[in-house]
Amino acid sequence: MTVDFTCDDKTYTIAMDAKGAPMFTKVWAAKIDHCEGYGSDDKIARSTPALTTFEAAVDRLLGHEEYDSTLADIYVVCAMVDPNTDYAGTGEMALTDEREMKAALTLCPKHPRASQWKLVLSGRIFEDGTYLVGQQSKPGEYVKPGTYVIQLGPDDGVIDGCYWERTNKSGNIIDNNFILSAKRVQVTIRSGDYSFTSRDCGTWRPL
């Protein structure tokens, strides 16, 4: 069985191994950084309509509510590899919720960005926003205690007007900072903190 998908007017073929799991290695070698039409089922063509047992398990992880991602979406996400940009944990990240990330980690566990998807799932890569600390709610709603940094490269400009704060359960500020202009920002979130907020900072990653 094979799955074909189209990206930039070129067709790529993904074959299955003996367990019915897709093999993406050759596709990753093509370094596909973006596919137009993400979210469209007509982007993939199957040699047989029946899902393998492996694919069916991935499909069950997604759920089937309105606007949910489909197995076809996860195939396209798994196929894309941008050699120059790391989208994990950012607003540009193709995987936007827990189900999508778990589905992708199941469909393509050896993806070059898989380790960073796991960090997003565990609350260790996150963008600006307000998060509970150490509380196991949905990914994107909590962060793990630890030291985090935003580090810009020499050609990436500066972090401009970044504000962060750590608060206790009563909403009182434990610590905060406003960074007018910098190439690097670092913060340590403590296990006793209740929430962490950042604005206009960027994407935090573990030190």
Query: How does pLDDT run across 63-94, given as a tens digit for each residue?
Result: 766 556 788 888 888 888 876 655 555 555 55
Residue 110 near residue 27 (C-beta atoms within 8 A): no
Residue 79 near residue 6 (C-beta atoms within 8 A): no
Query: How does pLDDT run across 40-64, given as a tens digit for each residue?
Result: 555 678 888 888 999 999 988 887 6
Q: Of 139, 92, 141, 145, which is closest to residue 118 (Cα–Cα)?
A: 139
pLDDT at position 85, please?
58
State the average pLDDT for the chain. 85
pLDDT at position 36, please?
59
At 105, is the secondary structure helix, strand, or coil? helix
Q: Of 26, 9, 12, which is closest to residue 110 (Cα–Cα)?
A: 26
Q: Is the pLDDT of residue 6 over 90?
A: no
* Cα distance between residue 156 and residue 74, in whole Å: 30
- What tokens appear for 164 in the block? 């962060």
